[in-house]
């Protein structure tokens, strides 16, 4: 059963869309990004979010005390770390952790076992970028990892490649952002079709 995360919510329209479509997770980006929100905006949006949807905060190399304070303030369910955070840092986060690993070859996945985390997020390696690039990596290198790990698959997912992505990697969660946007804004119809396609594969 593959679940859906819609990442990069930043306005009330986005909340209206997800409350209607009910993905399993939504993401709020606290890292430098065109989708970045501060903790006050995120909290305001979260207060309008359906309580059944889990809230994920996306962080990048943030001082630990700041991260824990934001996660607490926004009542996040999961903290998603996209930077160079070591295992010791992850162990001191006061919430469940998903750690992102940027993948180019199978070699890039060898570090996963060093972390004691709730989920490993596989994203595409792009030089000088920590996610959000909308680019796909070679899913074949990750085809066995979900047997032993809770896998969140990200990186360039959209309606027309999601079936192949799920069949190849068998992730527990698929994470989409730019793939359900038009001109930088979340697109209700794209979100609807993406979620429907994933759920149809689960039937």
What residues are annotated to the active site? 7, 123
Indicate if the alpha-carbon torsion angle 149, 195, 7, 122 is positive or negative.
positive
Q: How far apart are CA 93 and CA 79, in angstroms?
A: 8
Task: Write phi, then psi, for 11 (nearest 5 degrees).
Answer: -150, 170
- Rounded to 10 degrees, the C-alpha dihedral 168/170/175/178 comes to 20
Give the residues across from 151 on adjacent strands.
Answer: 120
Strand partners, 39: none
């Amino acid at each position: 059963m593959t679940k859906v995360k819609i990442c990069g919510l930043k306005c009330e329209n986005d909340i209206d869309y997800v409350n209607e479509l009910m993905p399993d997770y939504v993401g709020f980006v606290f890292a430098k990004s065109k989708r970045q929100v501060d903790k006050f905006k995120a909290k305001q949006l979260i207060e309008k979010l359906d309580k059944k949807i889990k809230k994920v905060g996306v962080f990048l190399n943030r001082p630990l005390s700041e991260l824990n304070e934001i996660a607490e303030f926004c009542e996040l369910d999961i903290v998603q770390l996209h930077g160079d955070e070591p295992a010791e840092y992850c162990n001191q986060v006061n919430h469940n952790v998903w750690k992102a690993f940027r993948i180019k070859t199978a070699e890039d996945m060898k570090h996963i076992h060093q972390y004691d985390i709730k989920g490993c997020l596989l994203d595409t390696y792009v030089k000088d970028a920590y996610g959000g690039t909308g680019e796909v990596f070679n899913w074949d290198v990750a085809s066995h990892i979900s047997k032993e790990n809770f896998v969140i698959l990200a990186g360039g997912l959209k309606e027309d490649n999601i079936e192949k992505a799920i069949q190849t990697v068998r992730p527990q969660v698929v994470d989409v952002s730019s793939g359900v946007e038009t001109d930088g804004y979340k697109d209700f119809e794209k979100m609807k079709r993406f979620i429907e396609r994933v759920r149809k594969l689960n039937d």
